[in-house]
Amino acid sequence: MASLPTLLQLLLCFLPFLATAQKVLPIGFSRQRHSAHSAHSAVQRRTTTYSQIINNNLTGGGYYAEVSVGTPPQTVNLILDTGSSDLWVLDSHADLCSSQKLQAYYGNCLATFDPDDSSTYVNLPRADFSIQYVDGSGAQGNYFKDTLHVGTANITSLQMGLAENTTINSGLMGVGFATNEAAKTPYPNIIDLFASQDLIAKQVYSLYLDDLNAETGTILFGGMDTEKFIGELSIIDIQPDSQTGNYTSFTVTLDSLAITASNGTATNFTQVPLPVVLDSGTTLSYLPSSVAENIFDAFGAVDDTLSGGTGLVYVDCDYLSNSQDLTFDFRFDAEDGPLIRVPIDEIVLDNVEDYEQLGLRVPQLPFDHVCSFGIQSSSGVYLLGDTFLRSAYVVYDLTDKNIGLAQANLNSTKTNILEISSAIPSVTGVASQVSASQTATITPGNGDGGLPTVTTTASPSSGAGDTTDSAAPRGVPAPKWEPAFVMAVSGMFAFMGAGLLAL
Ligand SMILES: *[C@@H]1O[C@H](CO)[C@@H](O)[C@H](O)[C@H]1NC(C)=O
Ligand SMILES: *[C@@H]1O[C@H](CO)[C@@H](O)[C@H](O)[C@H]1NC(C)=O
Ligand SMILES: *[C@@H]1O[C@H](CO)[C@@H](O)[C@H](O)[C@H]1NC(C)=O
Ligand SMILES: *[C@@H]1O[C@H](CO)[C@@H](O)[C@H](O)[C@H]1NC(C)=O
Ligand SMILES: *[C@@H]1O[C@H](CO)[C@@H](O)[C@H](O)[C@H]1NC(C)=O
Ligand SMILES: *[C@@H]1O[C@H](CO)[C@@H](O)[C@H](O)[C@H]1NC(C)=O
Ligand SMILES: *[C@@H]1O[C@H](CO)[C@@H](O)[C@H](O)[C@H]1NC(C)=O
């Protein structure tokens, strides 16, 4: 059973300051059809695909990739994050990892990296590493270069952050655009090197989180797996930052969100198309308050995320047993764009009792069996996190700035991998969701039910915005960040579980 510190740890929503995602300016661009191979020399090695398992750590609130760094390889566990772009590891001498007091609050350090034990380690003495998250958590140290072993690929001389001071108990693998790096001087990140070292043909990968109760998902670098999705894979555009025109995040256009009942009745909850960021490092999903509040009303859900609250939106668990066929239908791009149906049991999460055992005090509510809601209200940046992403198969094409999107085929045990070397092919996956009998060989989840799904995700803060209340809960030793390092937190903190942090 997890301890209170673990709860607090998993509630640290390291949400990115995504200044870029505010508004969508539809800027057209032509899809590049040429193969990435054409730019390479004749002596290149043959590209292929690399599959890396990601562990659905319900208590850790995220998907962790077990990879290794250095020579000989040292194993580390990194949160997989499409919402940020730096890969960093915990130094074995990091302040958190050598302080019982800090670990009692932030959680025990997961595997660390010791540079002294790696013969291929190269320190980058003048490259300060500093990444800050919306809730005030973050990591600081130095950049270095070393070999990263991910899947069966060895990426050499990858620049990574080495955290000396951290309030997060694991490292993080940011797989976003290099333009979103925390570093002052941009550098080729993991996805850039995957392609430039000719391991994969272009900057592309696919993400399959699988069922909420599945133990693992997969990130597939360089390709896609047609057994893991249903029907046609649709290709939509990533939207650039409206201010600079740069591509910095996986922002796509959500054309509409409707909730459909089993009798076919649909209720449309969106008024206008919305820019939303596909963010695997965020556990819940965040929609504009105008949309979220109408949804809460429709479900009689109680929003307790306001200041002083517990940070959760509560809903009657009866929706799990009585309305199983309700689906949240996310339509992207245009009226005839791809549709992802998220079943109610991926949105109504039966995890509140677990929280209560960890110390949560649920407010007075008009229902007995209390669940939490996988959608919350946001005043700025709209994020589709794991509560959405589990229902989707998503191909991220950073070279051509496209997203391939299809309904996920949950609990699939088969594979049919296609390498992607030019534009994402609009191929067809399986015909329908695999049946329960086919899933019998799957190891069930950890039995905790739909758990601690609260936010993660990291991204560099730009330093803009106001410095909100300290992220540190009352009565807990706050880490002593250097003043310059205490970056501003955006207004997001207010809706990202501040109350829970004050447990
Ligand atoms: C899951 O995350 C928790 C909290 O960070 C950690 O203590 C635990 O070791 C992780 N479990 C696995 C299997 O990685
Ligand atoms: C950063 O961590 C180091 C140990 O790794 C510690 O000596 C130092 O005091 C920490 N700095 C701050 C500002 O907490
Ligand atoms: C990758 O690194 C591992 C560990 O050092 C090594 O055993 C393996 O041979 C390397 N693979 C390639 C293709 O270089
Ligand atoms: C963003 O775009 C501007 C202008 O187009 C350019 O000068 C700048 O270097 C870009 N920033 C990044 C991080 O690529
Ligand atoms: C369909 O179901 C919804 C929700 O259960 C209900 O409100 C609606 O009246 C039903 N519509 C029809 C036509 O039966
Ligand atoms: C929902 O309403 C918006 C605005 O009226 C519209 O653009 C969208 O197509 C509607 N979606 C559905 C599924 O009806
Ligand atoms: C997938 O497997 C999990 C764990 O066995 C199960 O709880 C879930 O209902 C399955 N999902 C589907 C869609 O079959």
Per-residue model confidence as pLDDT tens digits over 358-394: 778 899 999 999 999 999 998 888 999 999 999 999 9
Task: Indicate if ligand 1 lies below 6 Å from the C-beta of 107.
Answer: yes
Q: Which two structure tokens, joined as six digits, stand for 350? A: 């039966």
**Rounded Cα distance, 50 and 125, in Å:** 32
The rounded radius of gyration (Å) of the Cα atoms in the chain is 21
pLDDT score, position 323: 66
**Which of 69, 118, 154 best tests ligand 3's pocket when mutated (most atoms within 8 Å of CB)?**
154
Contact 461, 133 (CB under 8 A): yes
CA of 91 to the centre of ligand 1 (A): 18
Residue nearest atom 6 of ligand 2, based on CA coordinates: 95
Residue nearest atom 14 of ligand 4, based on CA coordinates: 179
Nearest to 384 by CA among 393, 373, 375, 397: 375
Ligand at minimal distance from the CA of 99 is 2
Task: Indicate if ligand 6 lies below 6 Å from the C-beta of 336.
Answer: no
Out of 124-133, 277-286, 392-401, least confident range: 124-133
Average pLDDT over every residue of 430-435: 84
Contact 147, 70 (CB under 8 A): yes
Q: Which one has a higher pLDDT value, 244 or 8?
A: 244
**Which range in 6-10, 141-145, 470-474 is most confidently predicted, on average pLDDT?**
141-145
Asked whether the predicted pLDDT for residue 335 surpasses 90, the reply is yes
> DSSP label at 91?
B
Q: How many CA atoms lie within 13 A of 308 on its CB side?
A: 0
pLDDT score, position 137: 76
Size (the chain), residues: 503
Residue nearest atom 13 of ligand 7, based on CA coordinates: 410
Per-residue model confidence as pLDDT tens digits over 20-66: 222 222 222 233 333 334 444 445 568 999 999 999 987 667 899 99
Average pLDDT over every residue of 417-442: 77
Nearest to 453 by CA among 383, 375, 395: 375
Asked whether the predicted pLDDT for residue 120 surpasses 70, the reply is yes
Residue nearest atom 6 of ligand 7, based on CA coordinates: 213
Between the CA of residue 187 and those of 93, 127, 153, 184, what are the distances in Å?
A: 25, 11, 20, 9
CA of 244 to the centre of ligand 4 (A): 6
Amino acid at 231: G
Ligand at minimal distance from the CA of 253 is 6
**Rounded Cα distance, 220 and 41, in Å:** 25
**Rounded Cα distance, 155 and 157, in Å:** 7
The torsion defined by the Cα of 499, 288, 234 and 85, in degrees rounded to 10, comes to -50
Phi, psi of 152 (to 5 degrees): -105, 10
CA of 22 to the centre of ligand 4 (A): 17
Ligand at minimal distance from the CA of 7 is 1
Between the CA of residue 175 and those of 81, 250, 466, what are the distances in Å?
A: 6, 10, 27
Cβ-proximal residues to 45 (8 Å cutoff; 6+ apart), any chain = 198, 199
CA of 154 to the centre of ligand 3 (A): 6
**Rounded Cα distance, 255 and 497, in Å:** 27
Q: Which two structure tokens, joined as six digits, stand for 335? A: 């009226």
Average pLDDT over every residue of 86-112: 93
Task: Indicate if ligand 1 lies below 6 Å from the C-beta of 169.
Answer: yes
Q: What is the mean pLDDT of the chain?
A: 79
Amino acid at 308: G
Task: Indicate if ligand 6 lies below 6 Å from the C-beta of 256.
Answer: yes
Per-residue model confidence as pLDDT tens digits over 306-325: 888 888 999 999 999 876 68
pTM of the model: 0.81
For 425, the 3-state DSSP assignment is: coil
114 is catalytic: no
pLDDT score, position 448: 28
- Partners of 340 in beta bridges: 330
Nearest to 402 by CA among 393, 392, 394: 394
Contact 223, 36 (CB under 8 A): no
CA of 390 to the centre of ligand 5 (A): 27
**Which of 146, 192, 211, 279 is labelled catalytic?**
279
**Rounded Cα distance, 220 and 217, in Å:** 10
304 is catalytic: no
- Looking at ligand 7, which atom is closest to the CA of residue 443? 5
Ligand at minimal distance from the CA of 273 is 6
**Which of 259, 260, 265 best tests ligand 5's pocket when mutated (most atoms within 8 Å of CB)?**
265
CA of 245 to the centre of ligand 4 (A): 8
